[in-house]
Amino acid sequence: MTSSSIRPLVRGDLKRVGHLVDSNNMFPSEMLESMTAPYFQGEVSSNRWIVFDVRGVEAVAYYVPEQLTEGTWNLLLIAVSRDQHGKGIGAKLMRYVEEELAQEGVRILLVETSGVPEFERTRGFYDMLGYDREALIRDYYAEGDDKVIFRKKL
């Protein structure tokens, strides 16, 4: 049986995380350096990066507290290796994030994703995990690319 773990991101993971981001069409992986800089400078309470490691990084998640709120966090990234889609890794990462935040007294977890047809599976993933489709902002990312906001009470 293969051992797996959810652990904090380390600098040595960035190349693989960049591949996950690119292969899942999330955003340009060149942004990772600036996105992870506060985390690597010790701001782990406000910038959390975790990976799912099975003899190598198979998934990543990034989540932050929402500014000017009490007990609301936002999952800004979750990406799973394309050859591992549908195997429960994303659900395990989400459960980990939800349990960790709930233990800290966080009330609400938000997740934002695209409304384009290519992200229908992603939206179905959050539906399956019990998230409510809370809001839609039309043409947010680009003309014809809405932002869909999911919400879960922890």
Q: Tell me the C-alpha to C-alpha distance, in Å, between residue 77 and each of 1, 2, 107, 152.
A: 29, 25, 19, 16
Asked whether the predicted pLDDT for residue 3 surpasses 70, the reply is no
For residue range 50-82, what is the model confidence (pLDDT) as tens digits?
999 988 999 999 999 999 999 999 999 999 998
Q: What is the pTM of this model?
A: 0.91
